[in-house]
Structure 1
Amino acid sequence: MAIVEVEGLNLFYTDFQALKQIDMRIAANTVTAFIGPSGCGKSTFLRTLNRMNDMIQGVRIEGKVIINGEDIYESNVHVEDLRKHVGMVFQQPNPFFKSIYENVAYGSKIHGIRKKSQLDEIVEKSLRSAALWDEVKDHLNRSAYSLSGGQQQRLCIARALAVNPQILLMDEPTSALDPISTSKIEELVQELKEEYTIIIVTHNMQQAARISDRTAFFLNGEVIEFADTMKLFSNPEDQKTEDYISGRFG
């Protein structure tokens, strides 16, 4: 069953068209990877799924982005509620200048949870889900910036999970990390899809092949091919896809 349905999506930065007539259906509890060369539109498209592009002046969107049966660009949609259901993890770890505990509890507090026992439970569950609890459980009051880069990224994942989203968007979440931290994040993604729908932008085609169920290849603002990952990498239908994954360009 599709949790995300995109129909005829076009996105413009003033006069420049960054996304062109995108149609896509993403099933729940899957990992979907977006690949393609720099500037091809994959991160721009990812940000349309929780309206992060709203903050950019001059952006105009046509078409529909339907999540759980609701067009998220309708005027009656509350963006804060949308982002509770569609969380995001960015390329660079971006913890708040707060303690580890307060980073994870932040979103729950914003949404009105104040009882300490309830916050404690949310923090522990989220850190466990992000495979970080055992490493930080005795140091929850330390600054988030005392953690390594890989730990900070898992903390940001825990922070996103704490408000119980259905969908987790990840924009090149391992590009700034060492191989060991990258491996931990990849293992985590595989575990998280049991409860969440994961959509990830990656420049690393091997990573897309390792962790995703379906892969979309973007080029010049278009989705050239969207297919089961194994098929796309082993037997692509479009010559442009073949050229990209074989290293002829990009």
Structure 2
Amino acid sequence: MTPKYKIKAEKLNLYYGENHALHDIDLQIETGTIAALIGPSGCGKSTFLRTLNRMNDLIDNVRISGNVAVDGHNIYGGDSDVVSLRKRVGMVFQRPNPFPMSIYDNIAYGPRIHGTKKKAVLDEIVERSLVQAALWDEVKDRLHKSAMGLSGGQQQRLCIARLLAVEPDVLLMDEPTSALDPISTLKVEELTQTLKEKYTIIIVTHNMQQAARISDRTSFFLNGYLVETDKTDKIFTNPNDQRTEDYITGRFG
């Protein structure tokens, strides 16, 4: 039976040295949904996103208290395997970051690291991942050419395909379209609607229209606090907190 909640954060606090960046965050994210995190710059939404696959572990002087559970398992527990976690909970960054190698080798990189060596199996994974990322038809005739020759939008979809190749459960997207043109942005947004049939997606965005278009639920962060979370149409039409309405309507942020 598929659990209702893919991710549960409870009383989550995070400090960068003396800076208290996240305050008692309680947030549940349902399996198979797109959850948008909105709020002004520096409000904690990207920091929260990075707690979900322990990317903040890579930063000096970070302290975390509280629980984050993926499929009911506390990822900050003593028995948590960070390598396995980051395979299951992958991240797409603000700017595309393809490896300086061929399109094929970008996609095959993860499976090879995890022990897949047979060419026939890698061929299948590469094609499947590029099809899932809506990129196959555009690159199938140049798989062995450098990924650096792709457009920005294609590079971002390549990075998504690279994640899909290791078969994650959750896709974390940190402003994945902020560096893209409107047409490429639309393609990535359309892609998220297809991918949510198989994956749980959490996206940080500064684009209010994007959050309204693609997400099922929206959470508003402000000054390190989670102000409110609800169904997206409720947040955008009838939020419970005046601060949410002020932000959405452009009065600040």
Alignment counterpart, residue 207 of structure 2, candidates 192, 204, 207:
204
Q: How many residues get paired?
A: 250
For residues 108-158 of structure 1, the C-alpha deviation after alignment (integer angstroms, 9 at most, x for no partner) is 000000000000000000000000000000100000001000000000000
Distance (Å, rounded) in 2 between the aligned partners of 1:58 and 1:14:
5
**Residues 1:58 and 2:72 aligned together:** no
140, 143, 158: which one aligns with 2:143: 140
The amino acid across from 1:217 in the alignment is F
Aligned Cα root-mean-square deviation (Å): 0.4
CA distance in 2, matches of 1:17, 1:166: 30
What code does the residue aligned with 1:214 have? R
Question: Alpha-carbon deviation of 1:78?
Answer: 1.2
- Cα separation, 1, equivalents of 2:140 and 2:245: 47
Residues 188-233 of structure 1: per-residue CA shift (max 9 Å, x gap): 0000000000000000000000000000000000110100000000
Unmatched 5+ residue regions in structure 2?
A: none
Kindly indicate whether residue 17 of structure 2 is the aligned counterpart of residue 29 of structure 1: no
Structure 2 partner of 1:15: 18
Give the Cα–Cα distance (whole angstroms) in 2 for the partners of residues 52 and 189 of structure 1: 22
For the residues of structure 1 that align with 2:145 and 2:81, how far apart are their CA atoms?
34
Q: Which runs of 4+ in 1 moved over 3 A?
A: none
How far does residue 69 in structure 1 lie from its aligned partner after superposition?
1.1
1:170-181 matches, cutoff 5 A: 170-181=173-184
TM-score of the aligned structures, taking structure 2 as reference length: 0.98
Q: Which residue of 2 aligns with 1:162?
A: 165
Aligned partner of residue 6 in structure 2, secondary structure: strand
DSSP 3-state at the match of 1:156: helix
| CA–CA distance in structure 1, aligned partners of residues 98 and 78 of structure 2 | 31
Structure 1 unaligned residues grouped into runs of 5+: none
TM-score relative to the length of structure 1: 1.00
Q: Which residue of 2 aligns with 1:115?
A: 118
Percent of aligned pairs with the same amino acid: 68
